[in-house]
A and B are shown apart, each in its own frame.
Chain A
């Protein structure tokens, strides 16, 4: 990586098909601009997100991971997948701390299909926040994980 350029975080976003992915689409339809740092991966439900996906992303150098699903309590297309995501990610954040990774790098958000602006705001905010945190410690020399 070049030393001169400003640090641009790389963020992986796992979005549920029914609400959050639709919200991200609406941001596009409404032409709401946000920084190009996120790479979105579509899953059917936030309940599909295995903590391993997030750990793999961090291991491979993602500076942040966003998981977004349908609003609590009852928007989930699959009844309760959002609650499952909530439990898993709350726990994962505790584990991350033990690994020396700032838990703020992983965010769980609820975005509905009509919240294009909210999705864009989350990405903007996350990019800002991770810029302050700096690069993923796992990819800085000397602390390489592998």
Chain B
């Protein structure tokens, strides 16, 4: 008899995947232990400057997630921690952990950073790719979570400076490693990857030539917070380079090295780094990318590739670089390569090596301890139809550990793994999480403002520059301030207690802390005032550290004056602060899924496993969608068997209501409370209520108009060929395949992602049935990313001929008196070749479902230019829409392989569960509100709101604006445009902001 299940999950690895999995689990009622071997979470994404294809600042989008993880009451972060052992089984594991000492008492360290400033030691800063220095006591990067320092004992000389200077008494040189045992129900592995060691490609001179850097180092060079402040400089002499070469596939697609797989991300990041380098360089910069196949296979990636070429003038050279040599007098580099069958040499100022992904360093140990299987490259072994499961039940995997992949796919997999991890312990939801109880809120509506001001010394971070006692005395003179005092560390546990006491003693009804930044500390103090019975919005901060003492270190007098101004300004605002309610909205714990293909079915099953009812709506007469057209797979699984099993599971599940021959015709409401009409084609109509929507409406195959398709029976698409092969009708002796039909052209600039895999799959199948059949694949780039590269190699070995064509020389297809003729340019022999194939196979693009436009309008969600659905954020919210409660998965998002659709479907289910698992949703209190007496009904706010959170309502005989609080995100764009000032933003009202402005500008009489 199995032991009782445990409602907790262990997440191994604190990169973006581990973070996402942790947040989804914790938001769905499970306790999470997030462990990382490093001193902080954030992973490789924290090192990146920008992210493709939107060029978003990496830290800007990651750091809110870091902070949310760090503060989540259901997440315990254990850093410097590794797994020693695992016992038990799915639902009830016992994990043994070792936590290495950081020689700092974490509970005491405030992260003020004084120790690092005074530390006399300089060590190599690995966060900056080894290009700058840090002290022996350090944090990985300024935004690190947890913000706890660590002593590098290899470098530390034990001088005692940090011990002396730390006012929080956090330094503990004699701290020992410790061991702990945790009970968890399931485990998610997200240990990420190890960048390829570029020294192993010795012909490129990395480590010998200073101006040859890796792509990770180059990210740091590009970063404004990097070693050169965001200026692109050569490491050898600090000169601005004029000519940079990017070498692709360093450590990837390298059979000799044993890394035959493609690292899947380097083409895109190489282009991104080239574009950003040009953007960051004031003078003219030439960037050249040396590549084998340009693998821009993801959503909107080819559009980026086109811009890189056309707008940014990046030069692309299709060639594998043979070697690099250095001119030792200038530090310049000679890149030796072959182009057009001729050896060439070109001089560059700097070379960036686009290094690939390798499995994590200690992967074999992890695998042994956990008992999971690895593939031949030592990445985690997974299967097409179970991409998130390891070989051990209850242990799941996400991110780059299962195969090289980019951030959005890692994030989708992370949410998906969270769904999987939750489903085996769904019965334990909510049992191990802490629900915080607050005292009843004090009614302050009849009270005069009584403001308390707490001014922080922050050790000497503030107090060393700003005259804190003077600021305290000044604060006492301000109107409505009834109490003010100074604290050594306002954020410390004991000061929190003190603030609560002072609120009681002095009957304070507004609290101000003058210290660091509200971005990190406001939530903590809001909680503190709430614990003392005040509404959390009766709190304000004055940022007198990050934006005062730290930036005016040599002007103590001016800094003190500025601190006073800031306090005065915030006091003026605090006087006007009003308690805000966090609106609660009820949730109907039912899901609605549009589309009954593999994505929709998977999402439905996952939601049902979490315990929720699901309506699954499919237009066709049977479930299955695109998967019905697939007869065999590259990786070997039997898709027909899998499809039948999936349908059987759906039909047998009493929580899933399948609506066939039906479509959703109307949706109203908002997160938690949707109402939809489902129209059956037999005329029946029904209305359902649900809390979330998942769009899984799939995609469709392009019907070619080119290459005699539909005009000659010997011309067919890959799907038609597959069907022919499956039926045993295939007899051809000579087959030509043409790639990118209906994709990567003017009408549809983006890649359809899966056609290269289809072509390789069918070519291999042909070689399997009739080995002597000749197969030619005419391609622009073979995009067999990840482990699919193995099949590309296999196909070449079996004699499939892959022949490159350029847009300027597309293949020509003719019917010459009944003979099918294909003429193409053969780039190696440099001649036109004409072949008469028995069959001409067109790799037709996967294009958006024509119904997308109607669905998008109904749900008020956006589409891409191509017509696929556009998610909330291309990097970090791959399956969310900007509209809360509406999610997306599968080919409705963009073309993708089955395993990728399944991962996204699980992800959509996990994201939906964060809503459906709560009886009521607590919304943010900072929302817009309307003074209906002033509203003239002009509808400007309705037009401006990016979230559709304003609707017009009839009031008496006129229209007035009404805020749907569940949809409002608190940006305030409405308030700044309202001509009658009828609508304003809570906590940032027009009166409050103007009061703040006026007070800040008040001339102080000396």
Residue of B113, B142, B566, B973 touching A26 (CB-CB under 8 A): B142
Q: Indicate if the CB atoms of B1001 and A36 lie closer than 8 Å.
A: no
Q: Among the listed stretches B55-63, B383-391, B403-411, B436-444, which one makes contact with chain A, having 4 or more residues with CB under 8 Å of it?
A: B55-63
Q: Indicate if the CB atoms of A41 and B553 lie closer than 8 Å.
A: no
| 8 pairs of A and B residues whose beta carbons are closest in the complex | A28-B546, A48-B972, A78-B971, A28-B550, A50-B976, A47-B973, A113-B60, A45-B971
A117 at the interface (CB under 8 A from B): yes
B994 at the interface (CB under 8 A from A): yes
Q: Write the residues of chain B forming the contact surface with A, with a CB cutoff of 8 angstroms.
A: 49, 54, 56-60, 63-64, 113, 142-143, 223-225, 229-230, 517-519, 543, 545-548, 550-555, 558-559, 561-562, 565-566, 569, 882, 926, 944, 946-947, 969-973, 975-977, 985, 988, 990, 993-994, 996-998, 1000-1001, 1003
A75 at the interface (CB under 8 A from B): yes
Chain B min CB distance to A20 (Å): 10
Q: A33-B552, A36-B552, A36-B559 are in contact. Are A78 and B973 (CB under 8 A)?
A: yes
CA–CA, A61 and B973, complex, Å: 26
Q: Indicate if the CB atoms of B229 and A117 lie closer than 8 Å.
A: yes
Q: Indicate if the CB atoms of B225 and A36 lie closer than 8 Å.
A: no
CA–CA, A60 and B64, complex, Å: 35
Q: Count of A-B contacts with CB under 8 A?
A: 174
Residue of A24, A41, A44 touching B985 (CB-CB under 8 A): A44
Q: Indicate if the CB atoms of A75 and B224 lie closer than 8 Å.
A: no
Q: Indicate if the CB atoms of A44 and B972 lie closer than 8 Å.
A: yes
Output the residue of A43, A51, A71 with the most chain B CB within 10 A: A43
What are the residues of chain B within 8 A of A78 when measuring CB–CB?
946, 969, 971, 973
Q: Indicate if the CB atoms of B57 and A75 lie closer than 8 Å.
A: yes
CA–CA, A27 and B926, complex, Å: 28
Residue of A12, A24, A77 touching B997 (CB-CB under 8 A): A12
Q: Indicate if the CB atoms of B224 and A60 lie closer than 8 Å.
A: no
Q: Write the residues of chain A forming the contact surface with B, with a CB cutoff of 8 angstroms.
A: 1, 10, 12, 17-19, 21-22, 24-36, 39-45, 47-53, 56-57, 60-62, 70-71, 74-75, 77-81, 84, 88, 112-118, 120
What are the residues of chain B within 8 A of A71 when measuring CB–CB?
57
Q: A48-B976, A52-B990 are in contact. Are A114 and B60 (CB under 8 A)?
A: yes
CA–CA, A43 and B569, complex, Å: 14
CA–CA, A42 and B997, complex, Å: 11
Residue in A closest to B946 when the chains form the complex, CB atoms: A79
CA–CA, A26 and B144, complex, Å: 12
Residue in B closest to A57 when the chains form the complex, CB atoms: B997
Q: Indicate if the CB atoms of B990 and A75 lie closer than 8 Å.
A: no
CA–CA, A116 and B230, complex, Å: 11
Q: Indicate if the CB atoms of A48 and B971 lie closer than 8 Å.
A: yes
Residue in A closest to B970 when the chains form the complex, CB atoms: A44
Q: Indicate if the CB atoms of A41 and B550 lie closer than 8 Å.
A: no
Q: A52-B994, A117-B224 are in contact. Are A41 and B1000 (CB under 8 A)?
A: yes
Chain A min CB distance to B226 (Å): 9
Q: Indicate if the CB atoms of A22 and B975 lie closer than 8 Å.
A: no
Q: Indicate if the CB atoms of A28 and B63 lie closer than 8 Å.
A: no
CA–CA, A52 and B978, complex, Å: 11
Q: Indicate if the CB atoms of A60 and B972 lie closer than 8 Å.
A: no
Q: Indicate if the CB atoms of A81 and B545 lie closer than 8 Å.
A: no
Chain A min CB distance to B985 (Å): 6
Chain A min CB distance to B934 (Å): 15
Residue in A closest to B978 when the chains form the complex, CB atoms: A50
Residue in B closest to A50 when the chains form the complex, CB atoms: B976
Q: Indicate if the CB atoms of A60 and B1001 lie closer than 8 Å.
A: yes
CA–CA, A51 and B997, complex, Å: 13
CA–CA, A73 and B807, complex, Å: 31
CA–CA, A49 and B545, complex, Å: 25
Q: A33-B552, A36-B559, A41-B996 are in contact. Are A10 and B1001 (CB under 8 A)?
A: yes
Residue of B56, B551, B993 touching A34 (CB-CB under 8 A): B551
What are the residues of chain A within 8 A of B976 when measuring CB–CB?
47-51, 84, 88
Chain B min CB distance to A58 (Å): 10
Residue in A closest to B1000 when the chains form the complex, CB atoms: A39
What are the residues of chain A within 8 A of B225 when measuring CB–CB?
26, 30, 114, 116
CA–CA, A1 and B1003, complex, Å: 9
Q: Indicate if the CB atoms of A12 and B550 lie closer than 8 Å.
A: no
Output the residue of B550, B562, B988, B1001 with the most chain A CB within 10 A: B1001
Chain B min CB distance to A88 (Å): 7
Residue of B60, B558, B998 touching A19 (CB-CB under 8 A): B60
Q: Indicate if the CB atoms of B224 and A116 lie closer than 8 Å.
A: yes
Q: Indicate if the CB atoms of A81 and B971 lie closer than 8 Å.
A: yes
Residue of B59, B543, B569, B988 touching A113 (CB-CB under 8 A): B59
Q: Indicate if the CB atoms of A29 and B546 lie closer than 8 Å.
A: yes
CA–CA, A79 and B944, complex, Å: 11
Q: Indicate if the CB atoms of A57 and B60 lie closer than 8 Å.
A: no
Q: Indicate if the CB atoms of B223 and A31 lie closer than 8 Å.
A: no
Q: Indicate if the CB atoms of B1000 and A44 lie closer than 8 Å.
A: no
What are the residues of chain B within 8 A of A48 when measuring CB–CB?
971-973, 975-976, 985, 988
Chain B min CB distance to A60 (Å): 4
Chain B min CB distance to A31 (Å): 6
What are the residues of chain B within 8 A of A51 when measuring CB–CB?
976
Residue in A closest to B926 when the chains form the complex, CB atoms: A44
Q: Indicate if the CB atoms of A41 and B546 lie closer than 8 Å.
A: no
Q: A22-B63, A75-B60, A78-B973 are in contact. Are A12 and B519 (CB under 8 A)?
A: no
Q: Indicate if the CB atoms of A50 and B970 lie closer than 8 Å.
A: no
Chain A min CB distance to B978 (Å): 9
What are 29 A-B pairs with beta-carbon distances under 8 A?
Answer: A12-B1001, A21-B517, A27-B546, A27-B547, A28-B517, A31-B550, A35-B552, A36-B548, A40-B543, A42-B543, A44-B988, A45-B971, A47-B972, A48-B975, A50-B975, A50-B976, A50-B977, A50-B993, A56-B994, A57-B1001, A60-B1001, A74-B54, A78-B971, A79-B882, A112-B224, A114-B223, A116-B225, A117-B224, A117-B230
CA–CA, A6 and B990, complex, Å: 34
CA–CA, A33 and B225, complex, Å: 15
Residue of B519, B554, B972 touching A43 (CB-CB under 8 A): B972
What are the residues of chain A within 8 A of B944 when measuring CB–CB?
84
Q: Indicate if the CB atoms of B60 and A53 lie closer than 8 Å.
A: no
Chain A min CB distance to B401 (Å): 27
What are the residues of chain B within 8 A of A52 when measuring CB–CB?
990, 994
What are the residues of chain B within 8 A of A39 when measuring CB–CB?
562, 565-566, 569, 1000-1001
Chain B min CB distance to A69 (Å): 11
CA–CA, A40 and B106, complex, Å: 32
What are the residues of chain A within 8 A of B969 when measuring CB–CB?
78
Q: Indicate if the CB atoms of A27 and B551 lie closer than 8 Å.
A: yes
Residue in B closest to A113 when the chains form the complex, CB atoms: B60
Q: Indicate if the CB atoms of B553 and A33 lie closer than 8 Å.
A: yes
What are the residues of chain B within 8 A of A84 when measuring CB–CB?
944, 973, 976-977
What are the residues of chain B within 8 A of A33 when measuring CB–CB?
551-554
Chain B min CB distance to A74 (Å): 5
Residue in B closest to A112 when the chains form the complex, CB atoms: B57
What are the residues of chain B within 8 A of A30 when measuring CB–CB?
142, 225
CA–CA, A75 and B59, complex, Å: 12
What are the residues of chain A within 8 A of B977 when measuring CB–CB?
50, 84
CA–CA, A60 and B562, complex, Å: 17
What are the residues of chain A within 8 A of B569 when measuring CB–CB?
39, 41
Chain A min CB distance to B931 (Å): 15
Residue in A closest to B573 when the chains form the complex, CB atoms: A41
Chain A min CB distance to B842 (Å): 35
Q: Indicate if the CB atoms of B558 and A36 lie closer than 8 Å.
A: yes
Residue of A12, A112, A116 touching B1000 (CB-CB under 8 A): A12
What are the residues of chain A within 8 A of B558 when measuring CB–CB?
36
What are the residues of chain A within 8 A of B551 when measuring CB–CB?
27-28, 31-34, 36, 120
What are the residues of chain B within 8 A of A12 when measuring CB–CB?
997, 1000-1001
Chain A min CB distance to B918 (Å): 24
Q: Indicate if the CB atoms of B988 and A114 lie closer than 8 Å.
A: no
Residue in A closest to B998 when the chains form the complex, CB atoms: A60
Residue of A28, A41, A88, A113 touching B993 (CB-CB under 8 A): A41
Chain A min CB distance to B941 (Å): 12
Q: Indicate if the CB atoms of B518 and A42 lie closer than 8 Å.
A: yes
